[in-house]
Structure 1
Amino acid sequence: MAFKFISVAVAAIPVASALSLTTRATCSSAVESCSSGADSSSISSCCVNKPGGQFLQTQFWDTDPVTGPNDSWTIHGLWPDNCDGTFDENCDSSREYNDITTILQNNGKSSLVSYMQDYWQSNSESPEQFWEHEWSTHGTCVSTLDPDCYPNYKEGQEAADYFQVAVDLFKSLDTYSALSAAGITPSSSKTYTSSQIQAALQKVTGKVAVISCSNNELYQVYYGFFVNGPLTNADFVPSTIGKSQQTIRA
C-alpha cells in the first residue's frame, strides 16, 4: 500500500557516527563542506567536498511495482549538490564502471552487496544497472573520492567507499519507523497532513527534508547534509534543502 498525504513537508532524521574505511591521505583538520573555510583555495578538494558540498540522501517507497521490504524504505542514492543549489552530474566518463557487484566484492564488501540487493533496488531496471547509474551520475562528482586523493589507489576502491557510506547513512535514517511511531503507515485510504509528518520527524533533528509525491501518494524523501572532511569520514551534519534543489532527478 502507499502512503497518502495532503501536503509534502517533513523533517530529517539523525545520522550515524563516522566510519572507518579505506586509508586515505591525511588532512590537517576536518573542514565542514559549504562553510567559509571550505572556500579557501588552501584547502584541498581531497580534504573537503567541493564544489559538491551538500549531500542529498534520497529514499524510495515504491508501490508500482512493490520494491524492497514491506517495513522499510529503500535507497535511491547519495547526491553531491553544489553549495549554491546547483549540481553536477556524470563528472568522469573514465570511471563509469559497469560491474559494481564485482568492484564491491573485490574490496571485501560481499555483505554490502547482499544488503544492497534488498535495500537498493529500482522498480524499472536491474539492481546492477541502477547502481551503475547512481555511481556514474553522482558518485563520480564527489571530490574527496577522486583517485588522486588515495595514496595507494586501486581501481574501483572509491566506488566501494561511496556505496559503503551511502548504505551506512541510509541505515541511520529509518523513515518507516519514524513515521510508523506516529501512526503514519501505508494505506489505500488514509491521508496525513504536513503538520502530522513534521511532528513525527522534526523531533529528531528539526531539519526539514523534502517529500516527492505522485497522485497524492508519497514515493520519495530527500534528506540534506553537509560533511566534515572527506566523505569517507561519514561525519554528516543535517542541513535544510533549498527550493532550487527540489527537482525531479534520477
Structure 2
Amino acid sequence: MSSLVLPSLLGSSYVNSKYSSSSGCGTSGPASCQSTGTSTNTCCYETPGGLILQTQFWDTDVAGSPADSWTIHGLWSDNCDGSYVENCDPSRDYTNITGLLESQGASSTLDYMQQYWLNYNGNDEELWEHEWATHGTCYSTLDVDCLSSNSPVGAEAVAFFETVVNLFQTLPTYDWLADAGITPSSSETYTLSSLLSALEAASGGYTPALGCSGSTLNSISWYFNLKGSVIDGDFIAIDTPKNSSCPSSGIKYPPKEG
C-alpha cells in the first residue's frame, strides 16, 4: 500500500505561532522508523519514538463534549518496536498551558482545545499538562536545542499543541463513520469489521485501532511515521501495528449524554 502523506501542517487553519513557524528541517529525508543511520540529526528525524499515535476519545459523559465529534486524547510517540517511554524531561513539565499558548500567539489553538480537548473531570488544563509532560517531552524533534536561539521558554510545547490540533482536524472520525451510516445509538450495535471498513475507506485505506471498554466504543488511535520535525513535518499514515481491543460484534456506540 502506498503511503498517505498529510502535508505540512503549516497550511491548516490553525497555523503555528510566530515562535515555532519553521523547524528548518524540510521533509525530504527518511520517515521515522525507516532509518538506522547513526549520524541522523534527531532534530529533523524523530527517534526513537517514531511510531506516532493520534489518539481520540468518544467521551459520552464529559460536560460540554461535542455530540458530533470525537475529542483529542493526545499525540503519543511509541518506539518503532511498539515499546514506549514517558515523562522524558521533568524539567520541562510546564504548567499554565493556557497562559503559554496565549503569550506566544496561539490563542486560536487554545480556543479549539477548549472545545475539543476535554478532561473527564472538567479540569482541561490538567489533561493538557499531563499530555505534554508524559508524551510531548519525549519527541526528539521538540528538544529545546532544536529551536532557534531566540525562542521563548515553552515554545516547543506550543508547537506540540498546535500540531496535535492540526493533525486532529485531518481525522474527522465522527464524520467518517456517519458518512457510512454509523452513528451513535442507544439501541443499535455494530461489528468491528463494519467500523473499520468505514474508517479505512474514508482515510484512503488505512486501518486504525479501536478501543472499547467491554463492548462500548470509547477510543481510537491513528498511526503515523513522520518526515521532518513535529513542528512542520509530513505525517505519513500507516496501518495500526496493534489489534483493536473491541469485540468482533455487538459494539455499542452510545450517544453523548449532554
Instruction: Please tell me the TM-score bracket, short chain as reference.
Output: 0.7 to 0.9
Q: Which residue of 2 aligns with 1:214?
A: 213
For each residue in 1:3-34, what CA deviation from the matched residue of structure 2 results, as whole angstroms up to 9, or x when unmatched? Answer: xxxxxxxxxxx774213342555347432100
Provide the C-alpha distance between the structure 1 equivalents of 2:37 and 2:104, rounded to a whole number of angstroms.
Answer: 34
2:181 to 180, 183, 199: 183
After superposition, the Cα gap between the structure-2 partners of 1:25 and 1:170, relative to the gap in structure 1 and judged at 3 Å, is closer
Are 1:139 and 1:159, in contact at CA under 8 Å, matched by a contact in 2?
yes
After superposition, the Cα gap between the structure-2 partners of 1:88 and 1:244, relative to the gap in structure 1 and judged at 3 Å, is farther
Q: Which residue of 2 aligns with 1:120?
A: 117
For each residue in 1:67-119, what CA deviation from the matched residue of structure 2 results, as whole angstroms up to 9, or x when unmatched? Answer: 51111000000001100110110000000001111111111011111110000
Select between 50-59 and 121-130 the one with higher mean Cα deviation: 121-130
Q: Which residue of 2 aligns with 1:198?
A: 196
Provide the C-alpha distance between the structure 1 equivalents of 2:21 and 2:114, rounded to a whole number of angstroms.
Answer: 27
- Would you say how many aligned residue pairs link Structure 1 and Structure 2? 231
The structural deviation recorded for 1:197 is: 1.3
Q: Which residue of 2 aligns with 1:171?
A: 169
Q: Which has the higher contact order (CA 8 A, sep 6+)?
A: 1
Q: Which residue of 2 aligns with 1:33?
A: 32
Runs of 4+ aligned residues of structure 1 deviating over 6 Å after TM superposition are none
**Equivalence map 1:22-171=2 (5 Å):** 22-24=20-22, 26-27=24-25, 29-36=28-35, 39-65=36-62, 67-152=64-149, 153-171=151-169
Provide the C-alpha distance between the structure 1 equivalents of 2:93 and 2:154, rounded to a whole number of angstroms.
Answer: 10
Q: Which residue of 1 aligns with 2:224?
A: 225
Provide the C-alpha distance between the structure 2 equivalents of 1:215 and 1:232, rounded to a whole number of angstroms.
Answer: 37
Provide the C-alpha distance between the structure 2 equivalents of 1:116 and 1:126, rounded to a whole number of angstroms.
Answer: 12
After superposition, the Cα gap between the structure-2 partners of 1:118 and 1:191, relative to the gap in structure 1 and judged at 3 Å, is same
- Secondary structure at the residue paired with 1:86? coil
Provide the C-alpha distance between the structure 1 equivalents of 2:65 and 2:6, rounded to a whole number of angstroms.
Answer: 22
The structural deviation recorded for 1:155 is: 0.6
Q: Which residue of 2 aligns with 1:9?
A: none
Q: Which residue of 2 aligns with 1:6?
A: none
The structural deviation recorded for 1:206 is: 1.8
The structural deviation recorded for 1:125 is: 4.5
After superposition, the Cα gap between the structure-2 partners of 1:244 and 1:218, relative to the gap in structure 1 and judged at 3 Å, is closer
The structural deviation recorded for 1:196 is: 1.4
Q: Which residue of 2 aligns with 1:19?
A: 9
- Secondary structure at the residue paired with 1:57? strand
Are 1:101 and 1:128, in contact at CA under 8 Å, matched by a contact in 2?
yes
Are 1:86 and 1:245, in contact at CA under 8 Å, matched by a contact in 2?
no
After superposition, the Cα gap between the structure-2 partners of 1:105 and 1:245, relative to the gap in structure 1 and judged at 3 Å, is farther
- What is the alpha-carbon root mean square deviation over aligned residues? 1.9
The structural deviation recorded for 1:142 is: 0.5
Letter paired with 1:17: P
Q: Which residue of 2 aligns with 1:5?
A: none
Provide the C-alpha distance between the structure 1 equivalents of 2:21 and 2:61, rounded to a whole number of angstroms.
Answer: 41
Select between 93-102 and 119-128 the one with higher mean Cα deviation: 119-128
Using structure 2 for the length normalisation, give the TM-score.
0.84
Provide the C-alpha distance between the structure 1 equivalents of 2:213 and 2:63, rounded to a whole number of angstroms.
Answer: 15
For each residue in 1:110-134, what CA deviation from the matched residue of structure 2 results, as whole angstroms up to 9, or x when unmatched? Answer: 1111110000001124010110000
Q: Which residue of 2 aligns with 1:3?
A: none
The structural deviation recorded for 1:243 is: 3.0
Any unmatched runs of 5+ in structure 1? 1-13
- Secondary structure at the residue paired with 2:223? strand
